[in-house]
Amino acid sequence: MRILNFLRRAFKADTPETTSEDFFDQYEARIPSDQNAIDALSGWNSAFPLDKNLVAGDHHLYADPRISWAVDQFGSLAGRDVLEVGPLEGMHTFILNGHAPAQLDAIEANRLCFLRCLVTKQILGIDRANFYLGDIQQWLDKDRQYDLAIASGVLYHMPDPGEFLRKLSLRANSIYIWTHYFDETAMPEGDLRRGAFSGNVEVREIAGCKVRYYERHYWSADQNKSFCGGMKDTHFWMHKDDILTLLGKLGFNEIIVEHDQPGHSGGPCYSIFCRKS
């Protein structure tokens, strides 16, 4: 946050309300360290490996078994081109980087998360990844092909998740997704986890496949500095079955489901690995 405050002050440096004391608050007076870089950006979700002795977030995503499972399904990443959508703070990128891909493009739309990714890259020595700040939908419009695309914690934040899957299917022959989904059995009427849903259900057609969209809102959760959701307040969850049906329609004839947790506190969720063979 200090970086952002500095930028705001820099554009108001000549205004009467900006004092010399305010300007000099941009400097770090402690002995140089990795912890200082972490502290410069508030709102961390991810923890760092324990041997680093650093204080950040609470989630140990640097050792996430879901990403390791995805790599096991795909096979060796050595010499492969990989796309990561929504790297958050770079911890999944760290795992992927350890498998020696030829190219690893990580696209993050949240400015603070992007800056945290750069701090993580520095601290953990992520040397094969390029982090880019911007909208993944526009990146997918580029004529760029990947061997594997990773989209963990992304689909359910999208304002048009089916269209995102369609575009992603044009850029990668193998995809790994971890996502929340809607399912009436797993999350029946009266379930507290349905509180953020508006009740509006739309049916859209993607690649000739009709899919259900369940409207949801963040209810000011985006005001928290640790917010890592989508670019718009209105977003849609897809039905559990519709995601799999659409992936089949998009040409993925090998589809494996794992880590299915209908009782997850954030809403039902699962992992999907799919491939065009």
Ordered by start, the domain boundaries in the chain are 2-43, 61-275
Write down the pLDDT at residue 277. 86
Specify whether the CB–CB gap between 82 and 96 falls below 8 A.
yes
Give 10-residue mean pLDDT values along the chain (277 residues): 48 50 80 97 96 97 98 98 98 98 97 97 98 97 96 97 98 98 96 95 97 88 58 89 98 98 97 96
Write down the pLDDT at residue 57. 97
Write down the pLDDT at residue 11. 40
Query: For the CA atoms of the chain, what is the radius of gyration?
Result: 20
Protein fold of 61-275: Rossmann fold (3.40.50)
Write down the pLDDT at residue 276. 97
In the chain, at which residue ranges do the beta strands (DSSP E only) sit? 81-85, 103-108, 129-133, 148-152, 174-180, 197-206, 209-216, 235-238, 254-261, 269-275
Specify whether the CB–CB gap between 86 and 151 falls below 8 A.
yes
